[in-house]
Amino acid sequence: MIFVVSFLVALMLVGAVAASVFKDLISAVIAAALVSLVAAILFYLLAAPDVAMAEASIGAALTAAIFIIAIRRTKRYEE
Amino acid sequence: MRRIAAILLLVIVAVGISRSLVKIPFGAPKKKVATHYINEGVKETGSANIVTSVVVNYRGFDTLGEVTVLFIAAVGLGAVLTRSGGKETRPIEPASLILSTGCKVLFPLILVFGSYIFIHGHLTPGGGFQGGAIIASGFLLIYLGCRAGRISPEASKVAESSGGLVFILIGLLGLLFGGHFLSNFLPKGTVNTLFSAGIIPIIYIAIGFKVGSELAGIIDNLIEES
């Protein structure tokens, strides 16, 4: 259990760092969505399925979609 | 220079948070209010899901505020993004047969799943917010995949307003019959059956409609704009 949770936390850290480092904003949004998805799995493992559901549907799906729609209107690459 | 300042600031925030959180033991024994919710919650509210009994019953007024914040955000976005009458000029290329057929098969299933989540909010994990978000993601699928139709803004507005109205009406009826706003005046029924927990399922269905139509409206506004 502790190994699974540690692995997931490490994955979240990698995703968060990647989201701030990537110059391609669409990739950054995907990395941020990965953080949300892993957070949802963690919430489920820590016995909070209600929060996990909200995190997966809002954090991973809707927020990423709204960001991508916004990026389509602006520039895709960061200078 | 700016980068160093940002890193310094982050380090300060991280140290502050860790120093303040490290004192709290993980999984500490529950305090008085939490113990009361866990031991008496099912008996007092009739809801098998304790989280729902806290969100809708004990802290129902907070939930009303939360729904209002979401409503204000959706209205503000609509006010900023709505174009005055201009029709979409860019031609939309039709989606391929596989994509549009897949969307049409998946969309009703997503709707049924979202409705299940908020109708069974007092029995299983989930509730109005989660079910509404799932329904909105179904509409997102339709917008991205089929590009065929739009939900009519009138229907969306009717669903949203009636959700909010039902929430407030139930609260006022509680004031009338139970003595305080949002009091659980309906019979509790048998725990773990669909028709139980008094006003909780009604309020969660209203929240599901409201949140679903608001989030779908936000996506609709954004896609229409782009």
What token pair was written down for B93? 């290329």
Q: What's the residue count for chain B?
A: 226
Q: What is the pTM of this model?
A: 0.81
Q: Which whole number is the average pLDDT over B31-51?
A: 82
Domain ranges of chain A: 2-73
Q: Over the stretch A24-69, which tens digit does the pLDDT of each residue have?
A: 999 999 999 999 999 999 999 988 888 898 898 888 888 998 888 8
| pLDDT the model gives residue B92 | 64
Q: Which of A46, A53, A72 to mutate to test the interface with B (most CBs of B within 10 A)?
A: A53
Q: State both tokens at B130.
A: 């989660």
ipTM rounded to 2 decimals: 0.82
Give how far B176 is from chain A: nearest CA, Å. 32
Mean pLDDT to the nearest integer, B116-125: 88
Q: Which residues of B72-99 are buried (b: 16+ CB within 10 A; e: fewer)?
A: eebeebeeeeeeeeeeeeeeeeebeeee
Q: Residue B216: pLDDT above 90?
A: no
CA distances from B98 to B103, B142, B149, B172 (A): 9, 13, 17, 50
The residue type at A50 = D
User: Nearest CB to B137: which of A61, A69, A70?
Assistant: A61
Q: Rounded to whole angstroms, how far apart are CA atoms B218 and B76?
A: 10
User: What whole-number distance in Å separates Cα of residue B191 and Cα of residue B210?
Assistant: 26
pLDDT in tens, B195-215: 877 888 888 899 999 999 988
Q: Quote the CA–CA distance of B54 and B41 in Å, as a whole number.
A: 8
- Taking each helix axis from N to C end, the angle separating B200-225 and B60-81, rounded to the nearest 10 degrees, works out to 20
Of B49, B130, B226, nearest to A69 by CB-CB distance is B226
What is the overall mean pLDDT for chain B? 83
CB atoms within 10 A of CB B18: 9
